[in-house]
Structure 1
Amino acid sequence: ALILGGMVGALLIVQPGAQMSLATAWLPLLMVACYASFQVLTSVMAQTEEPLTLHFYTGWIGTAIASCLVLGWWTTDLSAAQWAMLLVLGVAGTLGHYLLILAFARTPASRITPFLYSGIAFATLGGWLVFAHVPNSLALLGMLLIVGCGLLAGWVTLREQRMLAAS
């Protein structure tokens, strides 16, 4: 039920309408499913794998998949500033992913998950600062629904773990 609530929240953010193609409407839902799967796999694998090994393999697999997806339209005639931005994004993403693996290796996922939802707030802030995009009330409701379902799922998991530990 909480996963479905998160999906409804994503639909409220996207607000598919007559002017939006079906593929465009489904893309955010696919992204949410992929991101959630990635987090679950990272959480599970971080318990048994060395963090650097896990980071190395996921980085190379991600690079290979992304490279295949952009083969038809990627261009290399970028300015020095664009290359610098790509480098900064790559370093920040690499560091962030490694720190996430370390967190999953040391802490239960139920304690980390609520912090992952802060990304929604930072993405909204970035959209406002960079693109002057202010989300409407339905999009804000969708964000609150996603965050609320995520926090509730983390709380339920933590409560179940505590009940198991107590018995």
Structure 2
Amino acid sequence: MSSIVRRAAGAFRGEVVEVLDVRKTPRAEWTFPSSPRAVPAARSAVVGRLEAWGLDGVRDTAALLVTELITNSVRHGPGGPIDLRIFAPDAEGGPEVEGGPGTVRIEVRDEDPLPPRPREEVRPEDESGRGLLLLTSLARAWGVHPGLRGKTVWFELAVPG
């Protein structure tokens, strides 16, 4: 059985708050500090959740796009926390997905109110500037929602099969 153990902040050593069967939990949320260390941590969290859900067909693309969005938040954001949410296909209580049934949705929220802007020109020798091009090319749909604190950039991936 694939499960995750949640512990309360400030709990006594070993105190378990709940054990979730991740195969039956259709969403997950994490908050990361605005730090370069957030990038591999977020990527690992998404890959682990997709594997637990048996969604290996979108794992690599999701990992790449999460890496791009978290990196953008760390580089261009004002330094506040970065929230990451993932919704399994057909998750009840989740956002309405543009792509319909069979779609994984991933959201990254940061405190920068400005939407991401694609670079006008990216040269082959440039080390950055391709994130939104990848998002446009690989995601079924993507967009930006302004919020009370910053913005949320979301994307959706079609689950093969």
Greater C-alpha Rg = 1
More helix per residue: 1
- The structure showing larger relative contact order (alpha-carbon pairs under 8 Å, at least 6 residues apart) is 1
Normalised to the residue count of structure 2, the TM-score between the two structures is: 0.30
More strand per residue: 2
